[in-house]
């Protein structure tokens, strides 16, 4: 993602935090601004960010769909679990009354400009092989992330050359870095409090890992993460950097 950022700066259009090359990653394609994880959100967020982050899980009929929650109610008003719902029914639903449908993973890759990297979060185990197959057919740079070490291990075993990031809620910095290193990850994704209140950023970077922290929702969050020295900020908005200075 660093390579993409350096290349794209000359073309303008994107928001920048500082000259320190901190990446801005649109969380669920900037969920505070657009209906999350939808094609419309991706098309609108992509011109302003260094990468888009999306969530992937499997529905009952086997397709990989881009949807954050295990349950349908918060985002669609429907009831039931994504894992128990067939694609023919999911495709009739819309996200947050936006008129935007739930997309499949392939449709998302079709919508993201080739030069924009994609962070694919695997929300569950058992999807790595199919997610990898879709990603390998696209021209985008792809970073796979997951809270599930087993999912990252599956990717490592399937294709050691994939870029992988360990997502964590909390934990001892040394253990976080050790787990990420053992999995062959290139990055760790800690929450704001862990990134700013522990030594995880320093330890990870010393181990050669990139640190992308989540999830910034305002400029105060962004400023804290910049001060902590992260490499990337996973944000619900793309307009945070407009007057943020280090």
Per-residue pLDDT tens digits for 153-208: 999 999 999 999 999 999 999 999 999 999 999 999 999 999 999 999 999 999 99
- DSSP code of residue 31: T
Closest CA to 119 of 149, 139, 154, 144: 144
Q: Report residue 195: phi and psi, to 5°.
A: -70, -30
Query: What tokens does 114 get?
Result: 């080739």
Residues in the chain: 246
In a domain? residue 90: no
Domain assignment present for 73:
no
Least confident of 3-17, 58-72, 175-189, 230-244: 3-17
Residue 94 lies in a domain: no
Q: For position 21, what pLDDT does the model report? A: 84
**Residues paired with 223 in a beta bridge:** none
Q: 29: closest CA among 132, 128, 98, 80?
A: 98
In a domain, 71, yes or no: no
| pLDDT at position 4 | 37
Q: Is residue 93 part of a domain?
A: no
Q: How far apart are alpha carbons 95 and 139 in whole angstroms? A: 27
88, part of any domain: no
Residue 212 — φ and ψ, nearest 5°? Answer: -115, 115
Separation in Å, CA 153 to CA 106, 122, 137, 156: 23, 12, 21, 5
Other beta carbons less than 10 A from residue 8's beta carbon: 14
pTM of the model: 0.92
With respect to residue 118, please indicate whether it lies within any of the assigned structural domains: yes
- Residue 142's φ and ψ, nearest 5 degrees, are -130, 135
Give one DSSP letter per residue of 93-128, joined into a string.
Answer: -BSTTSSPBPPBHHHHHHHS-TTS-EEEEE-SSS-H
CA dihedral 27, 186, 118, 121 (to 10 degrees): -60
Q: Confidence band (pLDDT; 50, 70, 90) for 10?
A: very low
Rounded Cα–Cα distance for residues 187 and 146 (Å): 11
CATH code, domain with 221: 3.20.20.190
Which has more pLDDT, 7 or 144? 144
- Of the chain, the end-to-end C-alpha distance in Å amounts to 21
Domain count, the chain: 1
Structural domain that includes position 201? 2-57+112-243
The answer to whether 62 and 82 are in contact (CB under 8 A) is: no
Residue carrying the six token digits 């700013």: 196
* Cα separation, 103 vs 74, whole angstroms: 17
Specify if 133 maps to a domain.
yes
């Amino acid at each position: 993602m660093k390579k993409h950022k350096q290349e794209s700066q000359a073309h303008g259009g994107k928001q920048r935090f500082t000259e320190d090359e901190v990446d801005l990653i649109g969380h669920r394609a900037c969920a505070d601004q657009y209906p999350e994880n939808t094609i419309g959100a991706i098309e609108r967020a992509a011109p302003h960010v260094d990468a888009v982050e999306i969530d992937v899980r499997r529905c009952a009929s086997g397709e990989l769909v881009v949807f954050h929650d295990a349950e349908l109610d918060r985002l669609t008003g429907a009831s039931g679990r994504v894992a128990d719902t067939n694609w023919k029914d999911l495709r009739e639903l819309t996200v947050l009354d936006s008129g935007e449908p739930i997309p499949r993973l392939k449709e998302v890759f079709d919508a993201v400009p080739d030069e924009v990297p994609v962070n694919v979060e695997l929300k569950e185990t058992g999807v790595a092989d199919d997610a990898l197959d879709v990603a390998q057919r696209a021209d985008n740079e792809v970073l796979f992330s997951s809270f599930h070490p087993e999912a990252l291990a599956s990717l490592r075993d399937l294709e050691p050359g994939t870029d992988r990031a360990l997502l964590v809620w909390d934990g001892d910095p040394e253990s976080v870095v050790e787990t990420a290193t053992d999995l062959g990850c290139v990055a760790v994704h800690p929450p704001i409090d862990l990134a700013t209140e522990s030594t995880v950023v320093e330890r990870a970077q010393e181990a050669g890992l990139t640190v992308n922290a989540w999830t910034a929702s305002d400029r105060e969050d962004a400023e804290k993460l910049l001060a902590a020295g992260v490499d990337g900020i996973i944000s619900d908005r793309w307009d945070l950097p407009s007057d943020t200075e280090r």
